């Protein structure tokens, strides 16, 4: 974990905050996260999903407030869905703040990404069965070139490619509306970068980085920028 001042976000920085859904006291979650957002988290059927979503909402507010100096509960977050207008879409801060954000949660982790460089997408996935490979899913989500480039350990390669692609989709705000197979990234054992996609944004205007979530999780972040990117990963212990 890098040693950076958590109250400043540098111009070339992409900051990732990691939290565990069981580490934030419930009283703090419900004090910081407004009731409307608590109800939104309530749409998840499983209790663990609700807790991860609530922790993400807390982490987002607390990480932004650390930089802006606001109280976490006062941070303005717009989640208007591009499809239906409801408050369940990608989170955005007011333009004047100048910071783009993204949230992801899976397994025992919650991630929040913040950067001034451009639209950002973070994705974390839980891989409980190490090395497990779902061939049919891979055929539906990888391009022919990516399938051909899988190593003799496809169960290790595939989740790495998946999180890179989902991070890219989240950065565009389209989510899984765009088929993953239409995005092509570098092989899992190479430095991550976008090779091709059907959008008008040139591939050299997109940055991709693998993250280090720890055991049995995979994670990546994508930022729509041509500028160099410095990724700093920090743990929510610093915010409690
Ligand atoms: C965004 C999406 C890829 C998330 O996939 P996931 O792997 O299940 O979940 P993750 O944990 O990685 O991310 C969830 C977070 O992404 C954020 N998010 C929601 N919609 C998003 C979008 N379109 N783009 C980027 N981020 C989005 C939210 O903060 C959400 O967390 P929350 O529900 O706790 O607030 C998926 O929900 C999707 O494709 N959404 C768009 C399509 C859709 O459902 N549209 C609604 C039509 S009415």
pLDDT tens profile 85-123:
999 999 999 999 999 999 999 999 999 999 999 999 999
Residue 232 φ/ψ, nearest 5 degrees:
-120, 125
If pLDDT is split at 50, 70 and 90, which confidence band does 5 have?
Answer: low
Nearest-CA residue for ligand 1 atom 17 is 90
Pocket test for ligand 1, best of 93, 170, 177, 183 (most atoms within 8 A of CB): 170
Residue 2 belongs to some domain of the structure? no
End-to-end CA distance of the chain: 17
Q: What is the pLDDT of residues 145-186, one digit of tens each?
A: 999 999 999 999 999 999 999 999 999 998 788 899 999 999
Q: What is the pLDDT of residues 186-199, one digit of tens each?
A: 999 999 999 999 99
Q: What is the pLDDT of residues 61-93, one digit of tens each?
A: 999 999 999 999 999 999 999 899 999 999 999
CB 79 within 8 A of CB 39: no
CA dist 169 and 9 (Å) reads 24
Element (H, E) at 48: helix 47-68
pLDDT at 176: 81
> For residue 180, what is the domain's CATH number?
3.90.470.20
Residue 104 belongs to some domain of the structure? yes
Q: How many residues does the chain have?
A: 240
- Ligand 1 pocket, residue 84 CB under 6 Å: yes
Residue 130 belongs to some domain of the structure? yes
Cα(118) to ligand 1 centroid in Å equals 18
Cα(53) to ligand 1 centroid in Å equals 11
User: The domain containing residue 130 runs over which residues?
Assistant: 13-239
Q: Where are the beta strands (DSSP E) in 94-163?
A: 100-106, 109-115, 120-126
CA dist 75 and 68 (Å) reads 9
Nearest-CA residue for ligand 1 atom 47 is 83
Of the two residues 128 and 50, the one the predictor is more confident about is 50
CB 232 within 8 A of CB 2: yes
pLDDT at 175: 79
CA dist 126 and 103 (Å) reads 15
Nearest-atom number in ligand 1 for the CA of 52 is: 34
Residue 100 belongs to some domain of the structure? yes
- Ligand 1 pocket, residue 36 CB under 6 Å: no
CA dist 221 and 209 (Å) reads 5
pLDDT at 1: 45
CB 187 within 8 A of CB 149: yes
Nearest-atom number in ligand 1 for the CA of 89 is: 20
Does the pLDDT at position 3 exceed 50?
no
Number of domains in the chain: 1
Element (H, E) at 52: helix 47-68
Residue 147 belongs to some domain of the structure? yes
CB 5 within 8 A of CB 56: no
Please, which contacts does 102-107 make with residues 24 or more away whose CB atoms are closer than 8 Å? Answer: 102/170, 102/171, 102/221, 103/56, 103/57, 103/59, 103/60, 104/56, 104/170, 104/219, 105/21, 105/49, 105/52, 105/53, 105/55, 105/56, 106/52, 106/217, 107/216, 107/217
Residue 42 belongs to some domain of the structure? yes
Mapped onto helix, strand or coil, the DSSP state of residue 148 is helix
Among 32, 169, 37, which residue's Cα sits nearest to residue 102? 169
Residue 117 belongs to some domain of the structure? yes
Nearest-CA residue for ligand 1 atom 41 is 175
Residue 8 belongs to some domain of the structure? no
């Amino acid at each position: 974990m890098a040693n950076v001042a958590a109250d400043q976000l540098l111009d070339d920085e992409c900051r990732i905050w990691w939290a565990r859904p069981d580490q934030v006291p419930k009283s703090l979650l419900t004090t910081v996260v407004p009731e409307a957002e608590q109800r939104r988290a309530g749409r998840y059927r499983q209790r663990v999903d609700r807790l991860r979503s609530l922790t993400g909402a807390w982490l987002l507010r607390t990480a932004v407030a650390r930089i802006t100096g606001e109280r976490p509960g006062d941070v303005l977050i717009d989640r208007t869905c591009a499809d239906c207008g409801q408050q369940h879409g990608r989170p955005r801060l007011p333009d004047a703040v100048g910071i783009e954000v993204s949230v992801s949660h899976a397994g025992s982790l919650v991630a929040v990404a913040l950067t001034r460089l451009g639209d950002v997408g973070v994705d974390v996935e839980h891989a409980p069965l190490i090395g497990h490979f779902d061939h049919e899913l891979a055929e539906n989500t990888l391009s022919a070139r990516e399938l051909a480039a899988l190593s003799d350990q496809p169960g290790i390669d595939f989740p790495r490619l998946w999180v890179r692609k989902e991070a890219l989709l989240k950065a565009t705000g389209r989510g899984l509306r765009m088929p993953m197979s239409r995005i092509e990234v570098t092989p899992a054992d190479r430095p991550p970068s976008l090779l091709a996609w059907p959008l008008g944004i040139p591939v050299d205007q997109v940055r991709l980085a693998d993250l280090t979530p720890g055991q049995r999780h995979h994670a990546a972040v994508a930022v729509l920028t041509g500028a160099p990117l410095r990724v700093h990963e920090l743990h929510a212990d610093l915010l409690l």
